Amino acid sequence: DTGVSQDPRHKITKRGQNVTFRCDPISEHNRLYWYRQTLGQGPEFLTYFQNEAQLEKSRLLSDRFSAERPKGSFSTLEIQRTEQGDSAMYLCASSFLGQVGETQYFGPGTRLLVL
Amino acid sequence: QQQVKQSPQSLIVQKGGISIINCAYENTAFDYFPWYQQFPGKGPALLIAIRPDVSEKKEGRFTISFNKSAKQFSLHIMDSQPGDSATYFCAASLRTSGSRLTFGEGTQLTVNP
């Protein structure tokens, strides 16, 4: 499978716990995006990387959220001190800068439930 | 600030009919307009996309119509099939803003057999 993969697919945690999600992009893609999707809504942009550099963060990304992309390959998104409002689907997408249209390919998402 | 508005919220169509979903955008600098299809429990998948220098793009049963002056674009699904039942999202992006996607609220399409 050469698509975008995300792990875990589902995560249930208690309020106040820390969680970390992983995204493995399509191998030759140099851009990686994180989005958050709540039930019945479209995905909302959180942050993106070009290679290993984090170039933009949405104001939705509070200080409790941190994302990394070491060596410009896989990425992790960590949420510290989770709150019930963090419950959502976290989607990762990748694209190749320079490709016409720069199509973003999405992974299956990690569904987070904070109890 | 909601920059991409999508309608209708839900749509029911008979098999073989035409499904039409509309979107309106605010930022005239947007330069890429994709449509994504999402099935329950899956990530969005690109269906078709258009740039503002063309007014229409067709791929199989899917057509995007683009009206730059009205700041609107729409997705037409011809000969709709039950397998097309999914949630559809329009989106817009701007290359100079890292091509991050701004999505509409989504349309839940149901195609009855």
C-beta separation of A25 from A104 below 8 A: no
CA quadruple A5, A83, B101, B82: dihedral, nearest 10 = 70
User: How close A49 comes to chain B (CA, Å)?
Assistant: 9
Probe site for chain B from A1, A37, A46 (most B CB atoms < 10 A) = A37
Peptide bond preceding A25 in cis form (omega within 30 of 0): no
Q: Which pLDDT score is estimated for A60?
A: 83
Per-residue pLDDT of chain B (113 residues; tens, 9 = 90+): 459 999 999 999 999 999 999 999 999 999 899 999 999 989 999 999 999 999 999 999 999 999 999 999 999 999 999 999 999 999 999 877 778 999 999 999 999 99
Q: Which pLDDT score is estimated for A61?
A: 86
Name the residue with higher pLDDT: A2 or A75.
A75
Q: What is the mean pLDDT of residues A102-109?
A: 92
User: How close B32 comes to chain A (CA, Å)?
Assistant: 7
pLDDT over 90, % of chain A:
83
Cβ–Cβ of B43/A42 closer than 8 Å? no
Q: Which pLDDT score is estimated for B96?
A: 75
Name the residue with higher pLDDT: A18 or B29.
A18
C-beta separation of B93 from B102 below 8 A: yes
Which SS3 state, helix, strand or coil, does residue A100 take? coil
User: Given pLDDT bands bounded at 50, 70 and 90, which one contains residue A24?
Assistant: very high
Q: Which pLDDT score is estimated for B97?
A: 74
Summarised one tens digit per residue, pLDDT across range A34-65 is 999 999 899 999 999 999 999 999 988 889 99
Q: Which pLDDT score is estimated for A111?
A: 97
Q: Tokens representing A19?
A: 């969680």
Q: Which pLDDT score is estimated for B88?
A: 98
User: Given pLDDT bands bounded at 50, 70 and 90, which one contains residue A17?
Assistant: very high
Closest of A24, A36, A38 to residue A105, by C-alpha? A24
Q: What is the mean pLDDT of residues A5-12?
A: 97
Task: Output DSSP code: residue A103.
Answer: P
Closest of A54, A47, A37 to residue B40, by C-alpha? A37
Q: Which pLDDT score is estimated for B74?
A: 98
Q: Which pLDDT score is estimated for A97?
A: 80
Cβ–Cβ of A33/B32 closer than 8 Å? no
Q: Does B89 touch chain A (CB under 8 A)?
A: yes
